[in-house]
Each structure stands twice: as C-alpha cells, then as structure tokens.
Amino acid sequence: MTASASLSLFDIVALRREFPILNQSVNGKTLAFLDSAASSQKPRRVIDCLEDYYRRYNANVHRGIYRLSEEATFAFERARGKVARFINARSQREIVFVRNTTEAINLVARSWGDANLREGDRILLSIMEHHSNLVPWQMLAQRTGAKLEFLPIDGEGRLALDNLDAQLEGVRLVAITQQSNVLGTINPVAEIARRAHAVGALVLVDGAQSVPHMPVDVQALDIDFLAFSGHKMCGPTGIGVLWGRRAILDQMPPFLGGGSMIKVVGLHESTYADVPARFEAGTPAIAEAIALGEAVDFLQEVGMDRIYAHERELLGYALERLRDVDGLRVYGPTTTEMRGGAVSFTLDGVHPHDVAAVLDSEGIAVRAGHHCAQPLHAHYNIPATTRASFYLYNIPEEVDRLVAALHKVRTLFG
Amino acid sequence: MDDLYRELILEHYKHPRRRGRLEHPDISAEEHNPLCGDRVRIDLRIENGIITDARFDGRGCAISQASASMLTDEIVGMPVEQAKQFSKEQLLDLIGIPLSHNPVRIKCALLPLKTLKAGLYGVGHAPDDDEV
C-alpha cells in the first residue's frame, strides 16, 4: 500500500474541513493530531451546538414552566434518545448521563456493587484494563471483601480465554474493555458475556475506546452495562454515558443524592425517582449532553462502519510502515484483525517522552506515558510507551510524517 | 526541539557522569514521577557536612536523566547546607534549557532535585515539596 492508497470511503478533504482545529500549524508544521484515543477533536457543528444553547435557550432542565426551560429540556431529552438509538438501547430510559466513563463505572461499583457484593464474591477483570475500570473495583473489593480476578493476555496482546470458564467460578461481575487503549485489541465481549451469563454473572463493558470507533449494539452484544465518554467521540468533555439494562437499573439504589433524583423529600427520608433521573442528581451538563447528541448525529451521518473501515486501513498502513523503523517495537496485535487504531510502541534507547517531544517539534501530537494502564506496562516490563492513535479525520500522509519523524529521532539519539 | 535536546543534554544522557550506586551511602533517596514513570535514585556520601561523593540511578527520559547526571556532578564538594538551598532556578540554569513554559517536561527536569531534597531533608520534609 502507498500513502495515496484508496481512502474513498468518504471525502476526507471535506471531512477534515469540518474540524477547524486541524487547520493550524504547530511549530511551523501542519498539525498532525494522532492522539484521539486520549480525546478527539470536535466538528464545527458540535462547537456551534454548544454556543447555540448558551446564546439562544440556556435554562435549567426539568424545572421551569417557561419557554426557554422547555426548549432546553426538550433538546436534552432528545439527545438522550439519540444516544439510545446510537447503541441500540431498548429504551432511552436506559441512558444515564454522567461526566465520563470513569464516573459511569464508579456509579455501578458504588450502587450495584455495594448493594450486591459480599465477602468472597469475585469480580473478573483483565490485565489490560484502563485504571478507570480497575481502581473502582479495587475500592469496591476493599469495602465488601470481594476478590478481584484477572484474565491474562497472550503474546499478541489478546485476551487468553482458555481458562475463562474456570475463572468465572464464583464471579458476580465481569468488567472488561471492548478495546484496549494501549494495545488496540478488540475483545470478544459477546462471547465473554454469553459465558458469564451462563454462570449468572453480569457484564460491564468499558466502551471508551470502542463506541467512538465502531458500531456497538448493546442488544447484539447482550451485555448488562456499557460505559463511554462524549469527548472521545467528537463530543464535549464533561459528558459521558452509562447504559444499563432497565431491569437491573430499576433495582439499583441511588449513587449521588440531591435535586432531580427524588420523588418526595421529607426531613428524615426521601423516596427516589425512577431511572434515569434517580442517577442524575443535580443540574446536569445540559449543553454538553445536547452537543453529544449532535456528535452522535454527525458520526451516524458519516457511518460507523465506514469510520471503522477507514481507521482499519490507516492502521494497516501504519503497522506496515512502522516495521521499517529500526529498534521499534509495536505492542498488541500485529494485524488489523480485531484491532483498533491505537498503536503503542517503544524505540530502543529512547524514552517515550523524548520520542513525543521530537514528534511535537514536527507538529505531530502523540501521547507518551503509561496511558492509565500501569499494570499492563508492568506486564511488558516497560515504564511507558509512545502511542499514536487514529480517528476518522486522519490521513495516510500523517502516518508518513510519523515514520519520517521517528527516523529523525533515531538519528538524534543514535 | 533543538532547544530541548541541546548537545549537552544528549551528551549527559548518552554518557552519564555519575550513574551507579554507592556502597553504604550516608543518604539514599528515590523519587518517582507517576505521570510518566520516570524514576531517580540518588546516593550521597557525606563527610564533615560536605557531600564528598554522589551517584544516581534510575530510568526516564533524556531530560530527567541528564538533569540527574549534571546535578550529581554539581553537588560533589558542596556543603550539605548549601545543597539544601539549591533552587529550581539554579538547576534549570545548570541544564540550560528553556522549560519554564513547559509544565510537563519541567517535572522531568526537576525530579532529580526533588530526590536530592527528599534525601537531605527526609522524605516529605523538603520545603515546597510540590514544586521541587
């Protein structure tokens, strides 16, 4: 494949123009943004949507009996419906707006976990989890006496499921990422869910890296909870989603107490609202939720299948070109099969921070560090990696620039 | 970048002056930068209130390791009281790279100084613990 390889899935030039931030120079070079796994850029219509709310109909939701508040409430709830359809939820009442993936997982750990787990119960995770799908379960285990178990990975960075059925013994909850933010590995969550359900365990999926990049259908996956963040999928920061199976959400006690989440409040006790309001105490991130709905419209117009295919093509090209760089090791699967576009690597003799600093001088934005996955880096016995990650607006020329800059790093530190 | 990776930095990174451990050091301290996994340990020999020998060990980026190399070189022969007063500005001066507007990389550069202070004052007792 060459740099001009076919990317006719959509008009990439026109699509890039939708993202104002991409049209700028950094250190005298055109910005090549290769850090969308950390946070994606926003299309103009999402930015406009935020401004439109504040300029035209800013008012609190679910409260005022006046025009602006009604309009804000309508837009807010319409966004909930858009998100529900985006992941094929059975009902928009299954969509709980939270701040981000981290808060969604903490909500489940605090609410479902505290109410249901007892000493000796087990929670099954994997060693590739982001800290946000690890630390809340450690805290829950400390509160309840539950035990954590971990699925290992094989030499390709894929989950080793040979002992899954044995590891599922006594497990009440499986919490697993659908796509590793370091390795790019896409995990077979439907299969894991089927086998987990067979022993009566629930399944929570961390969708922070999958929902922005591929079609995700909660009914087809047959899972119980899905957590994801708006800012990684062309939406604003400060808004995220917990999807939960209605029957389970209905049984869960509140997470945060306060306004909006109540039915009747007395001085000594209160009754709580139905879901999702029960889990949305206080004034929500109204503009951000509405803008997330706009981001979902945008992604669906481009097409999640096409976004996945586009990234897969870029990934294949990157994996091929990176083989030419001496001393470079890519972590995770070596093919594009069941693999997303996060490419973490080390370069012999050069610390990832130094790699990232030299790339920055070439206008290329990548992430260096442990990417909130310290146990995974400990597994590979490395302190950090450099990560390039792709999204719908990236182009093969940016891969070429990445490779050229890496050759420059080798020369400088050689 | 040419500012960041000056010859001097790369020279100290590739050929560190005082990398290693001391046998039975009088003071030994280790600090981490949790953001990036950089780690620096500094061993000191102290005689009559003077630092007579220093070694550093650890792993990290060129900035943190070159900074450790230059700092340990600088403090040998220095009275402990003077080393305790060694400032952030002095260190940045020593390594000679413009980092004042780079909040992430400045932490890399200052990690060896934080380690030195933790050793000289005792962990958690160094002044401006957050800054240095």
pLDDT digits (tens, 9 = 90+) for B12-31: 998 999 999 999 999 999 99
Q: How close A192 gets to chain B, by Cα (Å)?
A: 33
Encoded tokens for A17 = 């123009």
Element (H or E) spanning B40, and its range?
strand B38-47
Question: How far is Cα A36 from Cα A293, in angstroms, rounded to an integer?
Answer: 19
Q: CB distance A354–B5 less than 8 Å?
A: yes
- Please name the fold of domain A12-36+303-413: Aspartate Aminotransferase, domain 1 (3.90.1150)
Which residues 324-383 in chain A show a CB within 8 A of chain B?
350-354, 357-358, 360-361, 368-370, 374, 377, 383
Q: Which residues have a Cβ under 8 Å from the Cβ of B24 and sit 6 or more positions away?
A: none
Q: Are A1 and A25 in contact (CB under 8 A)?
A: no
Average pLDDT, chain A: 95
- Cα A183 to Cα A187, A342, A406, distances in angstroms: 11, 7, 19
Each of the 132 residues of chain B gets a pLDDT tens digit; together they read 556 787 888 999 989 999 999 999 999 999 988 777 789 999 999 999 999 999 999 988 999 999 999 999 999 999 999 999 999 999 999 988 877 777 778 888 999 999 999 999 986 677 664 554
Question: How far is Cα A239 from Cα A291, in angstroms, rounded to an integer?
Answer: 9
Question: How far is Cα A179 from Cα A414, in angstroms, rounded to an integer?
Answer: 34
To 5 degrees, how large is the angle CA A64–CA A69–CA A73?
A: 110
Percentage of chain A lying above the pLDDT 70 cut: 98
Sheet containing strand B50-59, strands side by side: B27-33, B38-47, B50-59
To 5 degrees, how large is the angle CA B32–CA A182–CA A167?
A: 100
Other beta carbons within 10 angstroms of residue A11's beta carbon come to: 10
Closest residue in B to A362 (Cα–Cα): B1
Q: Which residues have a Cβ under 8 Å from the Cβ of B12 and sit 6 or more positions away?
A: B65, B66, B69, B70
Mean pLDDT, residues A15-26 taken together: 95
Q: CB distance B36–A360 less than 8 Å?
A: no
Report pLDDT for A62. Answer: 87
Tell me which chain B residues have a C-beta less than 8 angstroms from the C-beta of A131: none
Q: Are strands A342-347 and A29-30 parallel, antiparallel or unpaired?
A: unpaired
Interface test mutation site (partner A, options B6, B11, B35, B36, max chain A beta carbons within 10 A): B36
Q: Which of A350, A354, A384 sits opposite B37 (nearest CB)?
A: A384
pLDDT digits (tens, 9 = 90+) for A150-205: 999 999 999 999 999 999 999 999 999 999 999 999 999 999 999 999 999 999 99
Residue predicted with more confidence, A2 or A378:
A378
Question: How far is Cα B127 from Cα A111, in angstroms, rounded to an integer?
Answer: 42
For the ranges A55-64, A105-114, A263-272, the maximum mean pLDDT occurs at A105-114
Tell me which chain A residues have a C-beta less than 8 angstroms from the C-beta of B65: 351
Give, as one character, the DSSP assignment of residue A18: T
- Domain coordinates in residue numbering, chain A: 12-36+303-413, 47-301
Q: Hey, is A169 helix, strand or coil?
A: coil
Give, as one character, the DSSP assignment of residue A20: G
Query: Per CATH, is A47-301 categorized as 3.40.640.10?
Result: yes
Domains, chain B, ordered by start: 7-121 (3.90.1010.10)
pLDDT digits (tens, 9 = 90+) for A213-253: 999 999 999 999 999 999 999 999 999 999 999 999 999 99
Q: Are B33 and B12 in contact (CB under 8 A)?
A: no
Encoded tokens for A125 = 């995770």
Report pLDDT for B128. Answer: 60
Which residues 4-63 in chain A show a CB within 8 A of chain B?
27
Q: Tell me, letter by letter, the H, E, C secondary structure of A211-242.
A: CCCCCCCHHHHCCCEEEEEHHHCCCCCCCEEE
Single pTM value for the model:
0.91
For chains A and B, what is the number of CB pairs under 8 angstroms? 55
Q: Which of A354, A374, A383 sits opposite B62 (nearest CB)?
A: A354
Question: How far is Cα A44 from Cα A21, in angstroms, rounded to an integer?
Answer: 9
Asked if this assembly's ipTM is beyond 0.90, the reply is no
Q: Hey, is A333 helix, strand or coil?
A: coil
Q: Which residues have a Cβ under 8 Å from the Cβ of B25 and sit 6 or more positions away?
A: B43, B44, B45, B55
Report pLDDT for B124. Answer: 66
Tell me the one-letter amino acid at A285: A
Least confident of A133-142, A393-402, B106-115: B106-115
Q: Is the predicted pLDDT of residue A4 greater than 60, yes or no?
A: no
pLDDT digits (tens, 9 = 90+) for A38-53: 999 999 999 999 999 9
Report pLDDT for B123. Answer: 64
Q: Which of A350, A384, A413 sits opposite B36 (nearest CB)?
A: A384
Mean pLDDT, residues A11-21 taken together: 94
Residue A348, sorted as left (phi over 0), alpha (psi -120 to 50) or beta, turns out to be beta
Q: Are B65 and B12 in contact (CB under 8 A)?
A: yes
Residue predicted with more confidence, A414 or B130:
A414
Question: How far is Cα A258 from Cα A53, in angstroms, rounded to an integer?
Answer: 25
